[in-house]
C-alpha cells in the first residue's frame, strides 16, 4: 500500500546527433552529472538529487528523438504482475537483460498505442554520486548550470490517445490529473503514478513515437529565470518561456538541445491526488492551459517534435 | 496500485483558547479560508488550494493542543481493511459517525503508542470553495496573508517512538525518509504515505499526546520571507526562522498561534520515494538536521509543546 | 555634492479613455494607492513606498498617451537655475502655478526635441499615506495586486534623439548608462539622473510626443511572476514577458492598460554611476538588448505607442 | 549636478590573519574575483559586476579589522575641494601617492572622530575583468559561490557619532536616511552619498576604529538563502540570519571570515533620496530596526567587532 507498483520515471534514452555537443548541453548547461560511458558509446547521466545510477541515457544516432521511456517499479513481483496485465491487454512484451545498461536490472518493454516504447524495471544500483544519507548536506557541491535536480517527465506525441489513457490508467495504474478535450476528442492527457502533477503526458498527433520534450526539475521560479539567463549567454535555442503552464501550474521554459530535441526546465506544479477531480480544458481555453501567460499556443507547440 | 490506502493528512483538529483571535490568526494571517462554523462552535478551515470541505478544525477549549490528526483514505474498503490490521496490532478502534463534522463521512479513531489520537476516513465532500476544474486559473482570487496553499503535516511529541514507527510503517503503510538516532535510541522520525518528504513526524518525549507544530505549505522561499514580514507587522510570536531544515530540506518558520500552538510555514522539501535509502542523523549533527543554518537546536524545540 | 539638481521622476500624467476602468487597472491590479480626485476629474495615485503626494495622474481624454513627465528637483533654486539653462539652450519655458495639482508647488514646463512635454518642480507635500518614518514597518498594509512600489520611469518615442540626448545630459545633467547605435544613427538612449539604471528613455521614431510605456517598480522576479499570474486572471492584455532586458538588466513584463497605454512592471536593474563606461548595443544585437531571452524584437516594440 | 563629488564606496582594506584562508573565503565562498597580488602580499579583489580594478584589499596582519574605507570621487577637482573642506573642518589630511595600490591614482586620507581612516580618490583603472560594455551579457560567466555583485558598504563602530554625522553630512555631502536615537543620544546612523539606502553606517562604541561588518550585495532573497546554504556546507561561522533589517529594509545574513571579521550579504534596501524624511528608531524598537524578524538584538551585535 502507500505507493505500490510503479514509482517514477526511471530512464529516458535520447538520440543525439553529436555526442560531444550533447554532453556539453546536458552536463555543463542543464547541470546533470555524467556517471558513465558505455563501450557502445552511450553516455549515462543523472541529476544531483537522484539516488540511482542514471536517469538519462544519450545515444548517438542519425536522427534525434526518444528510444524509450522507462518507469522504475518497487519490486520484481510488481514488474512480473504488470507483464501479465500488459499481455492480457494485448500488447507484446519483450525482455531486456540485466546489465544492458550499467547498474540496471532486467527490464521489460512494449509499444503503447501512440507508438512509443515504454519499459519497466525493478532494480537499479544506487549511484556513487547519490545524495548523502548520513547527516546529509542539502547538496554536496553547488548545483551547476541550470541546477537541474532530476529528470522529471516527458511529453510524447502520437496517435490513439484514448487508448494510451486507457492503457496507462487501467493497466499501469496511473491516474489523470488533467486533460484537454476538443470537440472531436481528447487532444492531450497528463498522467501520474505519484503525487507529481505528471510523470508522463501525451498529445494526439498523427505520426507515432515522437518526442515533444524531456523535462528537468528546478527548485523554483528564480532558477527558471537563471536558466533563461544561461540560454542567452550560451546561445541555447529557446522555444518559449519563462512562462507558466495553466495545466500542472508548473513554471517553465521550453528549449532545444543541439540535436533539436526539445527540453524543458520545470518548477512547481501542484501536488496530485487520485481523489481530486480531473481538471478539464476545452478548445477555447487550451492556449491558456498550455501557456498561461501567452494564452495562446505558438506554432511550434503542435508541430515541432523529434 | 499507484498510491493505495491512505492518501494524505485530511483533518487536524486544534484546540484554541479564544476563537476570535484564532480566526484572525488562521484566516487573516495564515490565509486559510473559513468554510463553516458548527453549532458546537467549531470552525472549519481549508487552504485555497485544497479540494475537500476542510482540513483544519478549531475547537475552543481551556488548553491548547491537538485533538486528533486524521488521514484521508482512497476508499471505505481501505478504511475497513486498516481497521482489521489496527485491531490485529492490538489497538482499540472506535467509530465517529458520518456528519460529526460537516461534509465528512464516517471516521475510525485509535490512540497510537505516543498517546495521540489518529483517525482515518474515506469520504469528505468537495468544497464549494475548491479550486476550479474547468479551464482553471491557478487561483480564483489572490492568496491572502501568508498565502498558505494547504495544511501539510504535523509534528507530534510523545513516548514510544519505536512503537509508533512500527505501527505507521507496518500497519498504516507509511515509509520513513528520515530519522534521528541518538546513542540511546531514536529521537525522531519523519514518515510519509506519499511523495511528500513527510506527512507526519514524531519526536520522543516523556509526556504523551503533545503537539509540536501544525504546518502549512507555502509556494517557495519568497513566500517564507513574506510570512516573516507579516509576523513582524502583526506581532505574531516567532519561534525560529526563516531558516531551512536539513531534514526534509524544507524552508521554514516556526511561530505560535495566539493560544500558544506552534505553527510552521513550510516550502520545498525533496520528493520522497520508498526505494530511496533512509537519511539518518546522529547526535553530533542533529542540530544541523533540524535547523540547517543555525546548526544547533534552540531550547524551545525540545521543550515547548501544547 | 551628492545628488544635486534633479532627484527623480516625480509625476507622469497619463490620458485614459475611461476613468473607472483605469482606476480598477492602476489601483486594484497594479496596486497603486488612490490619494485624491480633482474637481476636473483627474485622479491622483502613488505607490505604497512613495513619500510624496502623488506620482501618477490619470486624465480622462479622447486619446490615450502622456501629457507630460515631470522631475522633482531638490530646491526652487535648482529649478530656477535649470530654467536659465533651458532657455539658454533655446527651449521656451512656461509656468504652471502651484496648486494646479493638489499638494504640488509651481512647475516649469518645456517641450524637448522629441516633442514631449517635460516639467520640473521643487515642492510636493508629503502624502498622508507616506511610509512611516517613526519605527517604520517595511509596509503598513500588505501590498496589493502587482505590489508596485513606485512609478519608476517612462520610455518615450519621438524624433531628434541626438538632440534629446544632448539636452538631457548637457542641460538637465542626466548621464547615459546605455544606448543602441544603428548604422544610420542612434536608435535609443537610456538616461538617469540618479543611480537607477534609467529614469527616462527615448527611442527614435518619426511621430513626436508618443508614449511607449510607463513603468512601475516591483521588488523582484517573483513579483514579476505574480504580476503575470494576475494578468491572466484578470484578462489584462500582455505584450511581452516575463522576460529580462539585456539593457538595464531589468526583469520585466510589458502590458497594456484598458486605454491602450503600455505599462511595464520592472524589477532589478544595475546600479548606475556616471564614471562607468556607456554600454553600447549594435544592430545585430539590439534584439537581445531589448528582450534578453527572446533575442529579437517583437513587431509591437517598434510600432505600438500611444 | 546629478550625482556630484563622491560617487560610492571604492576600497575597503581589510586585515586578515591567514591569507590563504581569506582567499578561499572571499573568492570561493563569497564569489569575488581575485584581480591581483602585490609584492607586499596584499591581495586585490572585486565583485563580478564592478567596473574598476578592485574594491576589496586583503592585508595579512596580526589582528583583524579594517585599515581604511575609501570613497571614489568623480574628479580630482572634487577631491581637491573636499581636501580644503576637510582641513577647514579641522581634520589633518595626508597623501597616498598614485600606485600605492595597483591601478589606483593618488588618494587623500584622514581620521574621522570615530577613529576610522577614511580615504578619497578620483582615479582607478577599469578592470580587465570589468563587465562587457559592447552588447553585454548580464554576466560573462555564471556568478560563483554567494554570487556577490559588489562590495556594498561597511558598518563601523567608534565614539563621537554626532561628530561623525556632522562631518559626513556637512563636509562630505552625505545624507542620512535613517538613525537610532536612544534617550541619551544617537546610537547609530546610516548615511549615503547615492540612492543606496546606505554607503556607510556607524554605531556609537567606546573603542575607536572598529569594524562591525563589510557588506556584499546579492541580487535577491533567493541568493540570500543560497548564501546560507553555502555557509552550512562549508562551515562558515554565521552570526544571524537569513533575516531582514527594519532599517534599510535589506535582507541579510551576518557571518564571519576566517579571521573573525564580520561580513554581510545584503539584498534589497529601499531607494534613498535626500528629500525623503529621515526614518528614526527609538529605544523600544531598535531591536526590530536591526533584526526585523527577531525583533531584538543578539548580544554579538553590540559587542563583537574587529
Please say if C53 is a catalytic residue.
no
Please classify residue B17 by burial: count the beta carbons closer than 10 Å to its beta carbon, then call 0-12 exposed, 13-18 middle and 19+ buried: middle
b/e string for B126-137 if b means 16 or more Cβ within 10 A? bbebbbebebbb
pLDDT at B1 exceeding the cut of 70: no
Catalytic residue, candidates A52, A116, A198, A226: A198
- Average of pLDDT values for C20-28? 98
Predicted confidence (pLDDT) per residue in B136-167, tens digit: 999 999 999 999 999 999 999 999 999 999 99
Query: Which of A222, A228, A251 is the best mutation test for D, with the most CBs of D within 10 A?
Result: A222
Biggest distance spanned by C-alpha atoms of chain C = 55
Distance of CA A266 to the CA centre of its chain: 11
Average pLDDT over residues B187-191: 97
Residue pair C232/A293 in contact by the 8 Å Cβ criterion: yes
Once rounded to an integer, what is the mean pLDDT over residues B38-62? 98
CA D241 to chain centre: 18
A153 is catalytic: yes
Residue range B209-231: mean pLDDT, rounded: 98
* Mean pLDDT in residue range B177-185: 94
Query: What are D83's three cell numbers?
Result: 581636501
**A296 at interface of C, judged by CB pairs closer than 8 A:** no
Between the alpha carbon of residue D288 and those of residues A100, D293, D296, the distances in Å are 62, 7, 6
Q: Taking 90 as the threshold, does the pLDDT of residue B13 lie above it?
A: yes
Residue B234's closest CA among D295, C102, A198?
Answer: D295
- Residue A296, pLDDT score: 92
Distance, in Å, from the CA atom of C64 to the CA atom of C12, rounded to the nearest integer, reads 13
CB pairs under 8 A between C and D: 130
List the single residue in D with minimal CA-CA distance to A219. D222
Q: Enumerate neighbours of A (3 or more CB pairs within 8 A).
A: B, C, D
Q: Is C286 on the interface with A (CB under 8 A)?
A: no
Output the CA angle A128-A130-A131, nearest 5 degrees.
140
Contact (CB<8Å) D229/A145: no
User: What's the ipTM?
Assistant: 0.95
Nearest Cα to A234, choosing from A27, A12, A60? A27
Higher pLDDT, A65 or C3: A65
The chain-wide mean pLDDT, for chain C, equals 96
CA–CA dist B16, C210 (Å, integer): 60
Strand-strand pairing, D65-73 and B117-121: unpaired
Torsion of CA B49, B54, B56, B59, to 10 degrees: 150
d(CA B107, CA B87): 15
- CB-CB neighbours of A165 under 10 Å: 18
Assign B302 a pLDDT band (cuts: 50, 70, 90).
Answer: confident
Burial class (CB in 10 A: 0-12, 13-18, 19+), B107: buried
Provide the annotated active-site residues of B.
153, 198, 213, 245, 254, 264
Three cell numbers written together for D90: 579641522
Burial of C60 (0-12, 13-18, 19+ CB in 10 A): middle
The backbone region for A173, taken as left when phi is positive above 0, alpha when psi lies in -120 to 50, beta otherwise, is left
Q: What pLDDT was estimated at residue A1? A: 52
Annotate A218-227 with b (16+ C-beta within 10 A) or e (fewer): bbbbbbbbbb
Give the Cα separation of B110 and B91 in Å (integer): 7
Distance between C3 CA and the closest CA of chain B, angstroms: 31
Q: Determine the Cα angle at B248 with ends B304 and B155, to 5°.
A: 30
Three-state secondary structure readout of chain B: CEEECEEEEEEEEEEECCHHHHHHHHHHHCCCEEEEECCCCCEEEECCCCCECCCEEEEECCCCEEEEEEEEECCHHHHHHHHHHHHHHCCCCEEECCCCCCCECCEEEEECCCCCEEEEECCECECCCCCCCECCCCCCCCCCCCCCCEEEEEEEEECCHHHHHHHHHHHCCCEEEEEEEECCEEEEEEEECCCCCCCEEEEECCCCCEEEEEEEECCCHHHHHHHHHHHHHCCCCEEEEEEECCCCCEEEEEEECCCCCEEEEEEECCCCCCCCCCEEEECCCHHHHHCCCCCCCCHHHHHCCC
Flag whether residue A275 sits within 8 Å of chain B, measured between CB atoms: yes
Rounded CA gap, C46 and D169, in Å? 30
Phi, psi of A166 (to 5 degrees): -60, -45
Q: How many CB atoms lie within 10 A of CB A246?
A: 24
**DSSP code string of C58-78:** EEE-SS-EEEEEEEEES-HHH
Interface test with C, best of A146, A221, A222, A225 (most C CBs within 10 A): A225
C-alpha cell at A147: 541546477
Pairwise CA distance, residues D277 & D177, whole Å: 7
- Helix (H) / strand (E) containing A85: helix A76-89
Residue B271 has pLDDT above 60, yes or no: yes
pLDDT tens sequence for chain D (306 residues): 578 899 999 999 999 999 999 999 999 999 999 999 999 999 999 999 999 999 999 999 999 999 999 999 999 999 999 999 999 999 999 999 999 999 999 999 999 999 999 999 999 999 999 999 999 999 999 999 999 999 999 999 999 999 999 999 999 999 999 999 999 899 999 999 999 999 999 999 999 999 999 999 999 999 999 999 999 999 999 999 999 999 999 999 999 999 999 999 999 999 999 999 999 999 999 999 999 999 998 888 888 899
Question: Do C301 and C279 form a contact (C-beta atoms < 8 A)?
Answer: no
Instruction: Return the pLDDT at A253.
Output: 98
pLDDT (tens digit per residue) in C59-74: 999 999 999 999 999 9
Catalytic residue, candidates A54, A212, A213, A226: A213
| Residue B265 confidence class, pLDDT cut points 50, 70, 90 | very high
- C241-283 pLDDT tens trace: 999 999 999 999 999 999 999 999 999 999 999 999 999 999 9
Could you report the per-residue pLDDT of A200-228, keeping only the tens digit for each?
999 999 999 999 999 999 999 999 999 99
With b meaning 16 or more CB within 10 Å and e meaning fewer, what string describes D117-143?
bbbbbbbbebbebbbebebbbbbeeeb
C264 carries an active-site annotation: yes
- Distant-in-sequence, close-in-space partners of B186: CB < 8 Å, separation ≥ 6: B161, B162, B165, B179, B180, B204
A92-125 as b/e: b if 16+ CB within 10 A: eeeebeeeebbbbbbbbbbbbbbbbbbbbbbbbe
At residue D44, the pLDDT reads: 98
Of the candidates B123, B4, B49, B133, the residue with the CA atom closest to the CA atom of residue A278:
B133
Q: How far is CA A71 from CA A75, A80, A115, B223, in A?
A: 12, 14, 17, 34
Q: Is C89 on the interface with D (CB under 8 A)?
A: no
- Show the cell assigned to A61: 544516432
Which of the four pLDDT bands, split at 50, 70 and 90, describes residue A46?
A: very high
D245's grid cell: 533589517
Q: Which three cell numbers stand for residue B53?
A: 470541505
Active site residue C205: no
A160 grid coordinates: 490513439
A36 — pLDDT class (breaks 50, 70, 90): very high
pLDDT score, position B104: 98
- Count Cβ atoms below 10 Å from residue D88 Cβ, excluding itself: 9
Contact A272, B5 (CB under 8 A): no
- Close Cβ partners of D7 (under 8 Å, ≥ 6 residues apart): C273, C274, C275, D71, D72, D73, D74, D193, D194
Q: In what order do the strands lie in the sheet with C107-111?
A: C33-37, C43-46, C56-60, C6-16, C65-73, C117-121, C107-111, C94-96
Weakest-pLDDT range from B8-17, B180-189, D16-25: B180-189
Rounded Cα distance between B110 and B123, Å, is: 18
Chains that touch C (3 or more CB pairs under 8 A): A, B, D
Q: Which domains does chain B have, with CATH numbers?
A: 6-121 (3.10.180.10), 151-303 (3.10.180.10)
Residue A16 pLDDT exceeds 70: yes
Whether the per-residue pLDDT at C120 is higher than 60: the answer is yes
Backbone angles phi, psi at C46, to 5 degrees: -150, 155
Q: Tell me whether residue A264 is one of the annotated catalytic residues.
A: yes
Rg, chain D, Cα only = 18
Average pLDDT in the B111-115 region?
A: 98
**Mean pLDDT rounded to a whole number for chain B:** 96
C16: left (phi over 0), alpha (psi -120 to 50) or beta: beta
pLDDT at C279: 97
On chain B, the residues whose CB falls within 8 A of the CB of A173 are 1-2
pLDDT of residue C4: 87
Q: Which of these, D302, D110, D70, lies nearest to D188 by C-alpha position?
A: D302
Q: Is A134 on the interface with D (CB under 8 A)?
A: no
- pLDDT at position A301, please? 86
Q: With pLDDT > 70 as the criterion, what percentage of chain B qualifies? A: 100
Euclidean distance between CA atoms D150 and D32, whole angstroms: 8
Amino acid at each position: 500500500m502507500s505507493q505500490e507498483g510503479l514509482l517514477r520515471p526511471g530512464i529516458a534514452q535520447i538520440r543525439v546527433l553529436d555526442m560531444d555537443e550533447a554532453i556539453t548541453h546536458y552536463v555543463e548547461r542543464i547541470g546533470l552529472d555524467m556517471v558513465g560511458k558505455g563501450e557502445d558509446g552511450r553516455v549515462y547521466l543523472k541529476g544531483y538529487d537522484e539516488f540511482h545510477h542514471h536517469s538519462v541515457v544519450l545515444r548517438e544516432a542519425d536522427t534525434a528523438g526518444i528510444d524509450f521511456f522507462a518507469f522504475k517499479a518497487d519490486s520484481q513481483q510488481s514488474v512480473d504482475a504488470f507483464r501479465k496485465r500488459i499481455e492480457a491487454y494485448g500488447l507484446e512484451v519483450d525482455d531486456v537483460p540485466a546489465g544492458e545498461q550499467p547498474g540496471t536490472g532486467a527490464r521489460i518493454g512494449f509499444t503503447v498505442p501512440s507508438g512509443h516504447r515504454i519499459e519497466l524495471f525493478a532494480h537499479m544500483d544506487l549511484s556513487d554520486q547519490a545524495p548523502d544519507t548520513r547527516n546529509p548536506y542539502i547538496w554536496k557541491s553547488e548545483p551547476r548550470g541550470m541546477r537541474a535536480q532530476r529528470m522529471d517527465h516527458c511529453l510524447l506525441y502520437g496517435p490513439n490517445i484514448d487508448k494510451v489513457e486507457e492503457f496507462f490508467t487501467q493497466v499501469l495504474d496511473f491516474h489523470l490529473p488533467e486533460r484537454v478535450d476538443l470537440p472531436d476528442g481528447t487532444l492531450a492527457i497528463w498522467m501520474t503514478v505519484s503525487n507529481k502533477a505528471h510523470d508522463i503526458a501525451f498529445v494526439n498527433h498523427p505520426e507515432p513515437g515522437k518526442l515533444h520534450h524531456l523535462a528537468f526539475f528546478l527548485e523554483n521560479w528564480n532558477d527558471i529565470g537563471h536558466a533563461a539567463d544561461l540560454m542567452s549567454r550560451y546561445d541555447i535555442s529557446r522555444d518559449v518561456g519563462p512562462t507558466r503552464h495553466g495545466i500542472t501550474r508548473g513554471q517553465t521554459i521550453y528549449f532545444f538541445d543541439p540535436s533539436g530535441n526539445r527540453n524543458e526546465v520545470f518548477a512547481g506544479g501542484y501536488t496530485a491526488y487520485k481523489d481530486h477531480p480531473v481538471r478539464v480544458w476545452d478548445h477555447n481555453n487550451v492556449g491558456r492551459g498550455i501557456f498561461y501567460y501567452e494564452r495562446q499556443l505558438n506554432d511550434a507547440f503542435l508541430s515541432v517534435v523529434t
